[in-house]
C-alpha cells in the first residue's frame, strides 16, 4: 500500500484511539460519581500550585480561561476548592484545595487527558510544531474551527455538578 493510502488511515486510527481513551476515562469517572477527568486535571494543577489564579490555571491546562473558570465554579460548588482574595493583592483571586478536594485526588487515576498533555509536553519542538500545524489544517479543512475548544467530554450539563 502506498504512503498516500496509509497516512490517512494512520491519522484516523490515531484520532480514534485518542477519542476511545478519552471516552473510557470519562466513563470510569461517571461510574464513580467522582470528579470528571477535566475536574481532576484542574484539581491536580491546584494541588501542585496552591493559590493559583484562573489565568495561571488556564495556561497550565492548555485551555481557555473561560473554560477553566467554569470548571473551577463546578469544583467550588462541590466543595472541592475555595477561592480567596490574595492577602498581598486584593485584585487577585487565588484558588485552594479543600480537604474534600485533597480526598478526591487520593484515589484518582491518571486520566487519558493527562497522559496526552504529558506526551505533548515531551514532544520535540519540530514534531510539536508539525503536529500543531497539521491538526490546525485538519480542523480548518473539516470546517470545525468555529467549535469551542473545551475540555474533552466536559458537558455543560455535567452530571457531577
pLDDT above 90: residue 130: yes
How many Cα atoms within 13 Å fall on the side-chain side of residue 88? 2
Catalogue all structural domains in the chain, each as residue range(s) with its CATH number.
3-141 (1.10.10.10)
62-88 per-position pLDDT tens digit:
888 988 999 999 999 999 999 999 888
* Average pLDDT value over all residues in the chain: 85
> What is the pTM for the complete model shown?
0.64
Q: Of all residues in the chain, what percent carry a pLDDT higher than 90?
A: 39
C-alpha torsion 57→62→63→68, nearest 10? -20
Q: State the pLDDT at residue 4.
A: 63
Amino acid at each position: 500500500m502506498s504512503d498516500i493510502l496509509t497516512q490517512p488511515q494512520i491519522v484516523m486510527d490515531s484520532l480514534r484511539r485518542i477519542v476511545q481513551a478519552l471516552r473510557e476515562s470519562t466513563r470510569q469517572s461517571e461510574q464513580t460519581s467522582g470528579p470528571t477527568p477535566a475536574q481532576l486535571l484542574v484539581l491536580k494543577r491546584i494541588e501542585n500550585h496552591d493559590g493559583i489564579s484562573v489565568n495561571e490555571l488556564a495556561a497550565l491546562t492548555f485551555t481557555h480561561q473561560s473554560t477553566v473558570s467554569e470548571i473551577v465554579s463546578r469544583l467550588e460548588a462541590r466543595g472541592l476548592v475555595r477561592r480567596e482574595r490574595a492577602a498581598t493583592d486584593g485584585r487577585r483571586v487565588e484558588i485552594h484545595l479543600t480537604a474534600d478536594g485533597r480526598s478526591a485526588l487520593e484515589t484518582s487515576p491518571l486520566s487519558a487527558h493527562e497522559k496526552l498533555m504529558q506526551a505533548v509536553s515531551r514532544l520535540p519542538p519540530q514534531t510539536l510544531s508539525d503536529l500543531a500545524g497539521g491538526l490546525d489544517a485538519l480542523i480548518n479543512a473539516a470546517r470545525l474551527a468555529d467549535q469551542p475548544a473545551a475540555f474533552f467530554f466536559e458537558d455543560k450539563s455535567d452530571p457531577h455538578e
